[in-house]
Structure 1
Amino acid sequence: MISSEEKEQLRSEFLNLGFDVVRFSDLNPVDDDRLREWIEAGYHADMEWMARSLEKRLDPSLVLEAACSVIMLGVNYLPPAGDAATTQKGFAKYSLYRDYHDTVLAGLKEAGKLLEERFGLGPREYRYYVDTGPVVERGWAAAAGLGWQGKNGMLISKEHGNWLLLASIFVPLEFENDGPLQKGRPDKDAEPELGLLCGKCTRCMDACPTNAIIEPGLVDTRKCISYHTIENKGAIPRELRSKFGSRVYGCDICLDVCPWNRFAQAGRQELLESRYAVAELGLLDLLKMDIETFREVFRKMPVKRTKLRGLKRNACVAAGNLLREEYWWPKDGASREVFLEDVKRVLLELAETDEEPLVRSHAVWAVYQLCGDEADALLAKAKAKEEDDSVLAEYLQG
């Protein structure tokens, strides 16, 4: 067993590397029934890697045979108060940085060097991940006391609210368990409790426009805006599009409404590299974006995962929702009519000429949302051009 003094020294050194929270847990099994049931119910949508890696996620010894403990790390990504990045609705806050998989990984590499120097470990004797490996990050984070899993399924911290990026290090070392957060007398061997400090609050569940949170802690990914704007590579279900509002990459709705965020302060960001200027892009910028601009603007950012066609698909949906949510409208009221006409024009161009059927089909949908009865005539060229395109057959019916 590693002594308490050595453990606290290591915690301090990891904090100095830029991590905002450092907690230790033994590897008692996490609750596997909920995860199994979630996958069996198909709530993971088409993310088949979740199903393929299920056993490893539930049994860390399949990841690192000699693993005895996990060190759970958190990085606060809340932008500074007053910055437009905190209030914008188009992009999930975490995406307004250089890809955290890269920048937090740099901190993990330094943490690994400390483990090697301090405990004589070889580089193959421990494993670290930042949201990329077969790890139940939120489960282990709750077990270690970084926070608790809220009714939105996300980890909530008393100090950092909903704004922690999680990383983990599995080690063949025995650390005393920090234990989960609890209401009563501390018990380091207690099971983490879902919704521990949520009380009767259901703001996250009530706020979700697609009703993706079907019960406390259980999210049906097939309805989730974040999933569809990032992971879904095909068409966004028609019945959900009108509920996406202004969102073009990810969704923070169920995080933003959480009352615990009132305690959160902006992170130190020593392991992050901000790209807040992306939040200043306008909807027309996104709709008209070409591949060279996409690569330049989103270089080394999470948004690049959608590829240009995915981002423009999402922008088309946001454009179709302009009459429902006004986030993307210009602040100058005198230019609103011009803006709307410009959006319609660009959507028509996309419907007729974009090389991606996925973009064309969502542009067609958006035109119907904005133009109503006039859409049939406006889209005549697009319909004539695509009448034999099976990919668009469903969407060109309006």
Structure 2
Amino acid sequence: LGWIGRNSCLIVPGGGSYYFISVIFSRLALVADLPVMADHCPPSCNKCLEKCPTEALVAPGRLDARKCIAYHTIENKGEIDQAVSEKNSEWIFGCDICQEVCPWNRRPRGARRPIGEINSVLNQLDRAGWLSLSHNEFLEYFRKTPIHRTGYQRLMRNVEACLRTGDRAEEEKGA
């Protein structure tokens, strides 16, 4: 399929790292592709390691999930680690910084952002809208999106954590 980049994501040649991997079961005889073995990251590029806000990329290709915003906002069913939360004032579901700075993602095939109605919802909700989001609204807006996977309670936990961090940052600027 590709190789594991310095951002610890699978990078598909000509397409970048914005992919979901899936499986198709078939009885058809299919010809296998040749494996992609080598790391094709530009030798001097370390943008993903340098830009990670929580330093979760501890070495090229090595991710410490305990520090990763994406892990905490999607997978973590408990409390968000305070050290991670203090560095996150904008990501309520995942974090793509290591992918956004990757040169392989300059022109990926296909869509790499939520599209259509979900973009509209995300752009329209302000602070009050997020804080007053009901469970029914969550289902209406996000039922057929990856955000639904995290669940209403955890999404609201993420929203509140981001807002607290943003509020602290604003207070520090004003002080």
Identity of aligned residues (%): 35
Change (3 A) 1:297 1:170: closer
Aligned to 2:122: 279
Aligned to 2:17: 162
Unaligned runs of 5+ in 1: 1-140, 143-147, 182-191, 324-367, 373-398
1:161·1:261 contact (CA, 8 Å) conserved in 2?
yes
After superposition, what is the alpha-carbon deviation per residue over 1:5-52, rounded to whole angstroms, capped at 9, x for unaligned? xxxxxxxxxxxxxxxxxxxxxxxxxxxxxxxxxxxxxxxxxxxxxxxx
1:149·1:196 contact (CA, 8 Å) conserved in 2?
no
Aligned to 1:230: 74
1:210 equivalent to 2:54? Answer yes
Q: TM-score, normalised by structure 2?
A: 0.81
1:304 equivalent to 2:159? Answer no
Using the alignment, how far apart are the partners of 2:27 and 2:100 within structure 1?
38
Change (3 A) 1:264 1:304: closer
1:149·1:155 contact (CA, 8 Å) conserved in 2?
yes
What amino acid is aligned across from residue 166 of structure 1 in structure 2? I
Using the alignment, how far apart are the partners of 1:205 and 1:259 within structure 2?
13
What amino acid is aligned across from residue 69 of structure 2 in structure 1? I
Q: TM-score, normalised by structure 1?
A: 0.38
2:6·2:41 contact (CA, 8 Å) conserved in 1?
no
- Larger-Rg structure: 1
After superposition, what is the alpha-carbon deviation per residue over 1:109-144, rounded to whole angstroms, capped at 9, x for unaligned? xxxxxxxxxxxxxxxxxxxxxxxxxxxxxxxx23xx
Give the match's secondary structure for 2:106: helix
After superposition, what is the alpha-carbon deviation per residue over 1:290-334, rounded to whole angstroms, capped at 9, x for unaligned? 2222222222222122222211211112112325xxxxxxxxxxx
Using the alignment, how far apart are the partners of 1:160 and 1:288 within structure 2?
38
Please state how far the C-alpha of 1:257 moved relative to its aligned partner.
Answer: 0.5
2:9·2:17 contact (CA, 8 Å) conserved in 1?
yes
1:286·1:311 contact (CA, 8 Å) conserved in 2?
no
Give the match's secondary structure for 1:240: helix
Unaligned runs of 5+ in 2: none
What amino acid is aligned across from residue 316 of structure 1 in structure 2? E
Q: Which runs of structure 2 are paired with 1:47-66 in the superposition (5 Å)?
A: none
Q: Which runs of structure 2 are paired with 1:1-398 in the superposition (5 Å)?
A: 141-142=1-2, 148-169=3-24, 175-181=30-36, 192-193=37-38, 195-267=39-111, 274=116, 275-280=118-123, 281-322=125-166
Change (3 A) 1:172 1:215: farther
Give the match's secondary structure for 1:249: coil
What amino acid is aligned across from residue 225 of structure 1 in structure 2? I
Change (3 A) 1:178 1:286: same
Using the alignment, how far apart are the partners of 1:218 and 1:172 within structure 2?
37
1:150·1:198 contact (CA, 8 Å) conserved in 2?
no
What amino acid is aligned across from residue 232 of structure 1 in structure 2? N
After superposition, what is the alpha-carbon deviation per residue over 1:212-251, rounded to whole angstroms, capped at 9, x for unaligned? 1122212111111111011111111112111113000111
What amino acid is aligned across from residue 34 of structure 2 in structure 1? G
Query: Number of residues paired by the alignment?
Result: 168
1:207·1:254 contact (CA, 8 Å) conserved in 2?
yes
Using the alignment, how far apart are the partners of 1:296 and 1:171 within structure 2?
35
Change (3 A) 1:370 1:262: closer
The RMSD of aligned alpha carbons is 2.6
After superposition, what is the alpha-carbon deviation per residue over 1:45-98, rounded to whole angstroms, capped at 9, x for unaligned? xxxxxxxxxxxxxxxxxxxxxxxxxxxxxxxxxxxxxxxxxxxxxxxxxxxxxx
